[in-house]
Structure 1
């Protein structure tokens, strides 16, 4: 029997890379999709998957990803794609609304919402063809509550959540499950550093005093559990936080 087939976007680092590794360990043939060729190629080699250089915000790039998935399904004897993990996303900047940067806001909406839509649209025929496809969108607790300095990101991640909910309604009569994993505080090498434009001090301050924030592997573990439930079981949403984070604004920090 051939291995089930999964696509993970944003697989070059952080949660995406950890998820690709975890799904590979679970027996999936994983298509590692991201913009940075060298990284996804190394990851695919490591886990015995397939690397595809893909920018989810570019329609032609996404079409090429879908074509490669269809080709690969035929090569490994699958009727279609079993799982897509829409992980590509990001936060850019932390200015209040009164000082908001329109380009940063557009970039966040583009990758967290438009990119998710384009990938889902392109891969949906293959997910349906598999007879038991799973769409797992990586959202955020930022998609559930607002906080100062986060309006652009929270707006985009609220978009991720609502697109997920709408997809579930639209696909209710199709053999495709639609799920969301929404992490709280996760310490990765790049997320906060990118958000604060390379300012390591600001990035470190996010996690200051938090003994055990989540790490990428914790979220990958949750994603793997969600997508490997029996085909009749849909995990609508799974919110995962570190024990130290009781709410978005209430975090235990040791002094």
Structure 2
């Protein structure tokens, strides 16, 4: 807990989308340890309940008196009706959200442009872009009403530079980067903070989804180097949220030490 000032997060209420696994789940546990209340949102309710149990355990182990309230909300960010009714699902004591972590997102396939199924294009844009925008608009209205709050968007190295066989995913993450930049500029006359955390290689179920369940293909992505793990990115998210109220970390770009860009990495040769 020495990597950030957890006292600034004690008693804060955090909404995390895509909280059922990976970076979202790890971020929830770390916020819980810091004494935050958390609204865990995702499509998979059963998995969310397990994450909520991990949050409860982490909070108890921390010894922090503040926080410790966790709610599970079923939310498909691509479903506009579900997003519109989000506050109706949140318990009254957790409706005053202080921090939004837009983590929901995914990549599907490695097909080249021209061979990509329209259904894959639509699905990635629906979650990664339109869903993020819908949730952000809802929470920005809430934050403006109280002139405080923090929007933290999960970007990617793919939003900084495009790469082959990732045309649609790169396009969605470039959209997130642009949207985040516009939001920072629009809220400059408020006390609302806006940040984007952009990870490089992170070993989660992310690559398994990309390769449509082929774990062996997903594992090859990380062969010969030590990638980031979900907890590494979670630390950056929580650190960003724990800065003093007058400090806004606009952008964090984090990669494994053996990765220099989307297309440049060093891998130990096989013996």
Q: Deviations over 1:67-117 (max 9, x none)?
A: 34472336xxxxx31100000000011111131222111111111110101
Pair 39,130 (structure 1): closer, same or farther in 2 beyond 3 Å: farther
What residue in structure 2 maps to residue 95 of structure 1? 111
Report the Cα offset of residue 120 of structure 1.
Answer: 0.8
Runs of 4+ in structure 1 displaced over 6 angstroms? none
Among 5, 19, 22, the residue aligned to 1:11: 19
Among 12, 21, 26, the residue aligned to 2:29: 21
What residue in structure 2 maps to residue 254 of structure 1? 268
What secondary structure is seen at the aligned counterpart in 2 of 1:89? Answer: coil
1:105 matched to 2:118? The reply is no
Pair 154,225 (structure 1): closer, same or farther in 2 beyond 3 Å: same
**Mean CA deviation greater in 168-177 or 83-92:** 168-177
Paired residues of 2:17 and 2:101 also in contact (CA < 8 A): yes
Paired residues of 2:73 and 2:90 also in contact (CA < 8 A): no
1:61 matched to 2:79? The reply is no
Q: CA RMSD in A?
A: 1.6
- Take 2:157 and 2:221, find their aligned partners in 1: how far apart are those partners? 15
Aligned ranges 1:111-130 → 2 under 5 Å: 111-130=127-146
What residue in structure 1 maps to residue 206 of structure 2? 191
Pair 44,127 (structure 1): closer, same or farther in 2 beyond 3 Å: farther
Among 64, 72, 76, the residue aligned to 2:93: 72
What secondary structure is seen at the aligned counterpart in 1 of 2:132? Answer: helix
How many equivalent pairs are there?
248
1:182 matched to 2:198? The reply is yes
Paired residues of 1:132 and 1:231 also in contact (CA < 8 A): no
Using structure 2 for the length normalisation, give the TM-score: 0.87
What residue in structure 1 maps to residue 46 of structure 2? 38
- Take 1:243 and 1:229, find their aligned partners in 2: how far apart are those partners? 25
- Take 1:14 and 1:164, find their aligned partners in 2: how far apart are those partners? 22
Paired residues of 1:66 and 1:122 also in contact (CA < 8 A): no
Paired residues of 2:71 and 2:90 also in contact (CA < 8 A): no
Paired residues of 1:141 and 1:248 also in contact (CA < 8 A): yes
**Mean CA deviation greater in 122-131 or 12-21:** 122-131
Report the Cα offset of residue 232 of structure 1.
Answer: 1.0
Unaligned runs of 5+ in 2: 1-9, 57-69
What residue in structure 2 maps to residue 77 of structure 1? none
Paired residues of 1:83 and 1:133 also in contact (CA < 8 A): yes
Report the Cα offset of residue 174 of structure 1.
Answer: 2.2
Pair 70,165 (structure 1): closer, same or farther in 2 beyond 3 Å: farther
- Take 1:161 and 1:149, find their aligned partners in 2: how far apart are those partners? 20
**Mean CA deviation greater in 80-89 or 59-68:** 59-68
Aligned ranges 1:160-175 → 2 under 5 Å: 160-175=176-191
